Amino acid sequence: MAKKSSLVVHEPWWMRTPLPSVFFIIILVFVVVVLFISLSYDKVEYLSPNIFDRQQVKLMSVSAEETRKEKCDLFSGRWVYDYSTQPLYSGVGCSYMNDEVACEKFGRKDLKHQRWRWQPHGCSVPRFDPKKLLNRLTGKRIVFVGDSLNRNQWVSMVCMLESAVSSDDSHSMSQNGSLRSFKAKDFNASIDFYWSPLLVESNCDDPEHHRLSDRMMRANSIDVHAQQWADADILVFNSYLWWKKPGMKMKVIYGGSFEDEDNNMEEMEMIEGFGLALKAWSNWLELHRNRSTRLFFVSLSPTHAWGYEWGAEGNQNCYNQTQPIEEEGYTGKGSDYKMMRLVEETVERLSHKGVDVQILNITQLSEYRKDGHPSIYRKFWDDLSKERVANPSQYSDCTHWCLPGVPDVWNELLYAFIVSQEQV
Q: Which residues are catalytic?
A: 148, 397, 400
φ, ψ of residue 247 to 5 degrees: the values are 80, -5
Rounded distance between C-alpha atoms, residue 424 and residue 418, angstroms: 6
Instruction: Classify residue 388 by burial, with Cβ atoms within 10 Å: 0-12, 13-18, 19+.
Output: middle
Starting at the earlier edge strand, list the strands of the sheet with 357-360.
171-176, 179-184, 189-195, 141-146, 234-237, 294-298, 357-360
Rounded distance between C-alpha atoms, residue 144 and residue 255, angstroms: 28
User: Please, are residues 66 and 111 in contact by the beta-carbon 8 Å criterion?
Assistant: no
User: Please, are residues 411 and 156 in contact by the beta-carbon 8 Å criterion?
Assistant: yes
Residue 346's SS3 state is helix
User: Please, are residues 404 and 159 in contact by the beta-carbon 8 Å criterion?
Assistant: yes
Rounded distance between C-alpha atoms, residue 72 and residue 58, angstroms: 9
